[in-house]
Structure 1
Amino acid sequence: MDKKILILFILFVSTNVTAGFCGGTTPCNCGDVIMNSTVLTKSLTCNGTALTIGNNNLELNCNSNILGTFTHGNGIGIKIDQKSNVTITNCLFESQGNAIYLINSTSIELTKNAITKNDFAINIQTSNQIIITQNTITDGQISNHSNQGIYIVATNNTIIEGNYLENVSIGINLVETITQAINTNSSIKNNKIINTAMGIGGTIKNSLIEDNTLFDLKYSGIYLKGENIVIKNNSIKKINYDGITLTDTKNASLTENKIISCEKGITALAINEKLTANKNILCYNKIDINNETSGAIGVNNTCNTPNNWNDETTKGCTFQCKINRPPIILYTNPNNNPNITLLIDRNYTFSITADDPDGDELYYDWFFDDKPVDSNGPKYSFTYSKDLAGRHQISVIVSDSIDSKNVTWKIAVQKNKVIWDFPRRP
């Protein structure tokens, strides 16, 4: 072999497999070990593990740079093993097997990261004092049950607060080990979980689940077992199965939760010790409370369709659900004329103003020719391209999660007229 070719080959191999140290003023590359606090200066697309935390007491600020992989579903974005006092912030992760993999570590903060198209967005194993706040986790494959948003195994003293999770298999999964080590002292607050298979599930002890929003889930909202669990003031709407299911549970408290439009609002299974349900609003579910245990008591709940449930002072629930009043369409822009003509290569905005007479939150689903589009507010903006010339329709469904109203615009998309300006004879 030619010596020049051999030297070039050796240099090429060494630059692709040799990991170095980075941090401080030393920039990071694929496979590096971070030894000091640093701000990432560039995006990295790597095989294997992109970056490893190699020291305690440091912060990695990705400065909105992307950590990605050449092969979807493989590799790790950031690995933290047996470390303490580490912060990971402002990172964008795409397409790894694990965006953040954390094991046997203490006092770790994961904040303001955006994670998309990962099998495990945040994977935490047997750790302590973990803070997970203000992260955005989206676009897993909800048909693939290996896809997880926040996945936590046998970890103590965890704060999960202010995160947004959409279109993953399980939003927050709290897992016990084979030896039945479970998650303890978890605080799960102010998270928003939308369009997942399950919202919050698993096994916990001495934990609080409060002020979370769960909407449009394909299976269950909250499905838990464990002991000393407080579930308080959560909004759970439009769930295909149960809003809240508790099984094999000791000393659980359900208070002031609002559970609307589910198959079953609350299901209590095999409660070994007391379940207390007070001041919950359970309305417009097929079954509001499904009680299959003798260990449940409650008072001042609101429901219409209980199964084997009585509040302490009355048969069924203390209060009855009111008749829901559907949303009201106030006006649309453009006006809902039978036919609207649009020109290609121009930007258009359709909007709708609606009100709910009961003060319920409204949700908007937009469609182009009956196919969902990426807009979930009262406006839909787009630019028509030339391949869309012809007749179409734009529609929106406005829902309070119980009743809905819809508006449809029929449109004709036309090519721009060409004006020919022939030269005049002199």
Structure 2
Amino acid sequence: MAHTKLNSRLSKRVQSIQPSGIRRFFDLASKMDNIISLGVGEPDFVTPWNVREASISSLERGFTAYTANAGVFELRKEISSYMNKRFSVQYDPETEILVTVGASEGIDIGMRAILDEGDEVIIVEPTFVSYVPLVQMAGGVAVPVGTTKEDQFKVSASQIKAAITPRTKAIMLCFPNNPTGATMNGQEMQEIADLCEQYDLLVFSDEIYAELSYDENHVSFASLPKMKERTILISGFSKSFAMTGWRLGFVLAPPDLLAAMLKLHQYSLMCAPTMAQYGALEALKSGMDDIERMKQSYKQRRNFIVKSFSEIGLPCHTPGGAFYAFPSVEETGLSSEQFAEKLLMAERVAVVPGHVFGEGGAGHIRCSYATSMDNLEQSVERIDRFLKSL
């Protein structure tokens, strides 16, 4: 009897997807001593105590059963109120809000809910590493549209229009952006919104960094005229509320789209963790001061690292949001991967090579400034020393 080849046991779709380029550098760094990591896209703040206390209290009161598939109704009501007050978008907690296991699940089930085999999704690059694989796992085709440092990594409506084909189903946007920190204003988004109406497109708007907009107020894509009915808005508690390990996000969408996503959520995950939902409820009720405190700290660090990178010879645009700097390393003559590997080995500073975020990220590195000022100062000294050694 012939032996079955291992590869034949695996889905061709899964085999075609590459492992995360970010994880490879984390794995390398984890085996080394005296590392300063600028690689992790995670707040360095601990979740505020009152949020942790609310979660502990829910356990003590015995709230350990499944919740409604869509999430604790009181939490959905609070999400509705929060999004209306902060970003001027109104969603019905009964039919338009779903609590998910992180924002990533929201994107996953959103893609699977709308895509048929071969449908195209326009992805603005550089982009978060999971978007393209999630499109592919849903049977879709990711169509990249690149942005450049000369344009502050903003995409134009004309670039998106040039990528639209009869198979285009949706556009994936993330502002403030991971990895570039780029933001867009209302007028720039409105031009994209006009395209969506003209070509009957849906929009995935990943707004997980919405609260971390430093120089202008965040504009939610769903707040634009006629865009709520076309928008799957993804957000959550990981970044601005410092709750990454809680794995709690939410999706806001029109009732027909949300009902489809709810079916996928029901069969794959049932519901988000109960105790995390009660912690999130407390975060929304009392966490605005904590958000502002963390935001001001990130802004101070942003200003320091952008100025420092420019001074040591790494040109860097000023990110309008999130907590990433995205300096160019092109002048060193090294690729982003070569630069990141050599820097890690020589100076024990972990950064993420920009090419893992798509072709538009080539020649850049992503540096998270969600770490202490002491770490940032030391990392700048080490990178400066590395540059002088080249």
Structure richer in strand, relative to its length:
1
Identify the TM-score tier after normalising by the shorter chain.
under 0.3
TM value normalised by structure 1: 0.21
User: Which has more radius of gyration?
Assistant: 1
Higher RCO (Cα < 8 Å, 6 or more apart) = 2
TM value normalised by structure 2: 0.22
